[in-house]
Structure 1
Amino acid sequence: MLAGCGLVLSGCGLTPTGPSLTDRMLGVVTPYRIDVVQGNVVTREMLERVRTGMSRSQVRELLGSPLIADAFHENRWDYVFTIRRAGTAYQQRRITALFKGDALESLEADELPSERDFVESIDTGKSKGKTPVLELSEAQLRALPAPKAAAPAATAPAAARPAAGPARAYPPLETP
């Protein structure tokens, strides 16, 4: 019995006319690969807003928190961004911010994509197609029903008007 199973299993790789059964199965069935994104996405537009002399908090507002803020190099912040996504090329970018006290002294960066280029680089093609329209046309706006008129405000003083909603009675918090 055991020898028969071994013979059958070893025969799967011995087909001289084409790829083995294992190769054909792996070509159709591929394992799921998760997207791995680390760090902050920093685009060219974001980096253009950063100026030397800005405080640490201003730089943090524009670029986000640094991935590496080393205690031994307190005047250096490193922004590293990596993405591994099935169907797209691996991407890695680095930005280094050097401070003198609380003010930004210099900024070193890899070539950064624009926001549009970045989105296109991570698009795997699944979202290709007709882009939904997010605004109504003038004809669609005119076709909308008119808003209902608001009820006229009461002219009686607030004390004379009945309370809105039913009166509520609450049980005592403590029992005697």
Structure 2
Amino acid sequence: MLALLAAGLLAGCGTLNDATRGMADALTLYKPEVVQGNFVSSEQVAALRPGMTRLQVRDILGTPLVSSVFHGDRWDYVFTIQRQGVPPQRYHLGVFFAGDVLQRYEGDEMPSEAEFVQRISRERKFKVPVLEATEDQLARYPAADAPQAESDASESAAQLRGAYPPLEPAR
């Protein structure tokens, strides 16, 4: 009887915990967006060719997230994206070697770099400033005389030579 009562109380705690977690999720104003693991783009996967060396594969994909002592001929690239209001997205790519040579690869269809940036970026609501000066704006700044600038530079260099001891003894 006592065991049945304890089991009932524990089951009630689990339900209360789920309800409390749901309420806390509803009240949470901000959850940080998290990208974990090695991002691998579809462009990187397209660059892989059977017969490549491990070094060439590492140059394209980066260091693998998972490399096992028990599976020395397999590298795993895994990354997840967690955003507020969106179910977590998980991607996996397995790369298989025969000795030091790439044999094959398999995994999920990877997003392109543009798709990845679009998924993790927020909509920006600002105007991009013009980065070119008009003729009127340039006219406000007088052109510098090249000979005058050269003479000023040589005078300041002479002053610096007198202010610091020489690095090497005179010959």
Please give the range of the TM-score, normalised by the shorter of the 2 chains.
0.5 to 0.7
1:63 corresponds to 2:61 = yes
Q: Which residue of 2 aligns with 1:136?
A: 131
Q: Which residue of 2 aligns with 1:120?
A: 118
Q: Tell me the alpha carbon deviations over residues 85-137 of structure 1, each in whole angstroms, 9 at most, x when there is no partner.
A: 224331100001111121211111211111121222223x4x3324635x734
Partner SS for 1:54: coil
- Please list every run of 5 or more consecutive structure 1 residues that lacks an aligned counterpart in the other structure: 1-24, 154-160, 170-176
Give the alignment of 1:85-164 within 5 angstroms.
85-123=83-121, 125=122, 127-130=123-126, 132=128, 136-137=131-132, 140=133, 142=135, 143-144=137-138, 145=141, 148-150=144-146, 151-152=149-150, 162=158, 164=160
CA RMSD across the alignment: 3.3
Name the CA shift for 1:67/1:27 in 2 (closer, same or farther; >3 Å). Answer: closer
2:111 corresponds to which letter in structure 1?
Answer: P
CA contact (8 A) 1:88 1:121 kept: no
Q: Tell me the alpha carbon deviations over residues 18-44 of structure 1, each in whole angstroms, 9 at most, x when there is no partner.
A: xxxxxxx96984264333322111111
1:167 corresponds to 2:153 = no
Find the aligned partners of 1:62 and 1:37 in 2 and give their Cα distance: 20
1:84 corresponds to 2:82 = yes
Structure with greater proportional helix content = 2
CA contact (8 A) 1:34 1:86 kept: yes
CA contact (8 A) 1:81 1:94 kept: yes
2:163 corresponds to which letter in structure 1?
Answer: A
- Please list every run of 5 or more consecutive structure 2 residues that lacks an aligned counterpart in the other structure: 1-22, 152-156, 166-171
Question: What's the offset of the Cα at 1:64?
Answer: 1.2
Report percent identity of matched pairs. 39
Aligned residues: 136
Q: Tell me the alpha carbon deviations over residues 114-163 of structure 1, each in whole angstroms, 9 at most, x when there is no partner.
A: 1121222223x4x3324635x734xx26544576455448xxxxxxx947
Q: TM-score, normalised by structure 1?
A: 0.61
> Which piece of structure 1 moves more, 66-75 or 44-53?
44-53
Partner SS for 1:136: coil
